[in-house]
């Protein structure tokens, strides 16, 4: 019995690619978010802001944006024209994530930014994932950004003052 991770089926490759994109997107959203919120008075260091932003970004991207992206892939895959398929996929990404804006406008802006970033990184990796050298580069950069994200989360957690 083959393990799902080593199975070369089209759906498995798509899901593995989406997970890699989710990790890369998390890094950039956390970087943007922590840079933005580190100017607030409630954070004393950039690392505390990184930890705070990572709690929400990683959770939202892995448990909401990743399934939304898989749904967008299934909805738009029947179109052969890449511009139409990309437009429909982008519309699904933005529309389903923009629902956060109904709850909180600032959260909606950040969610739409994350969805757009996820879409752009996903489309770039879609085009290059079949090239072996580019696949290795994508996997290496994902591992590197994942490790950087986790290390900065640990530093942020440790530098958060206890009350």
Q: Is 9 a domain residue? A: no
- How does DSSP classify residue 44? S
Which residues form the domain of 145?
A: 26-159
- State the Cα angle at 27 between 26 and 31, rounded to 5°: 115
Q: Does a structural domain hold residue 122?
A: yes
The tens digit of pLDDT for each residue in 89-127 reads 899 988 888 887 777 777 778 888 889 999 999 888 887
Q: How many domains would you assign to the chain?
A: 1
Closest to 59 (Cα-Cα) out of 99, 30, 96, 20: 30
Is the residue at 18 inside a domain?
no
pLDDT band at residue 7 under the 50/70/90 scheme? very low
Q: At what angle do helices 82-97 and 66-76 cross, to 10 degrees?
A: 150
In a domain, 4, yes or no: no
Helix axes 132-159, 10-37, angle to 10 degrees: 40
Instruction: Specify if 97 maps to a domain.
Output: yes
C-beta of residue 50 within 8 angstroms of C-beta of residue 157: no
C-alpha 13/C-alpha 5 separation (Å) is: 9
3-state secondary structure 124-152: HHHHHCCCHHHHHHHHHHHHHHHHHHHHH
Cα-Cα-Cα-Cα torsion 111, 27, 46, 44, nearest 10 degrees, comes to 50
Closest CA relative to residue 71, chosen from 106, 113, 115, 107: 115
Number of C-beta neighbours around residue 17 at 10 A: 18
Statement: residue 9 has pLDDT above 80? no
Least confident of 4-13, 84-93, 139-148: 4-13
Query: Is the residue at 15 inside a domain?
Result: no
Structural domain includes residue 5 = no
**Looking at the domain assignment, is residue 56 inside a domain?**
yes
**Alpha helices in the chain, H assignment, sequence order:** 10-37, 46-60, 66-76, 82-97, 100-103, 105-128, 132-159
Q: For all residues of the chain together, what is the average pLDDT?
A: 82
């Amino acid at each position: 019995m083959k393990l799902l991770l080593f199975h070369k089926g089209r759906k498995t490759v798509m899901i593995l690619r989406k997970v890699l994109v989710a990790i890369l997107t998390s890094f950039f959203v956390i970087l943007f978010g922590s840079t933005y919120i580190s100017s607030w008075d409630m954070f004393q260091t950039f690392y505390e802001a990184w930890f705070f932003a990572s709690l929400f970004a990683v959770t939202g991207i892995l448990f909401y944006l990743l399934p939304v992206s898989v749904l967008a892939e299934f909805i738009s895959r029947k179109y052969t024209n890449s511009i139409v398929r990309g437009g429909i996929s982008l519309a699904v990404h933005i529309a389903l994530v923009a629902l956060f804006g109904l709850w909180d406008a600032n959260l909606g802006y950040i969610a739409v930014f994350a969805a757009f970033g996820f879409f752009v990184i996903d489309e770039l990796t879609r085009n290059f994932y079949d090239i072996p050298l580019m696949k290795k580069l994508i996997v290496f950069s994902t591992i590197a950004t994942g490790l950087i994200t986790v290390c900065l989360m640990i530093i942020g957690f440790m530098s958060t003052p206890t009350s």
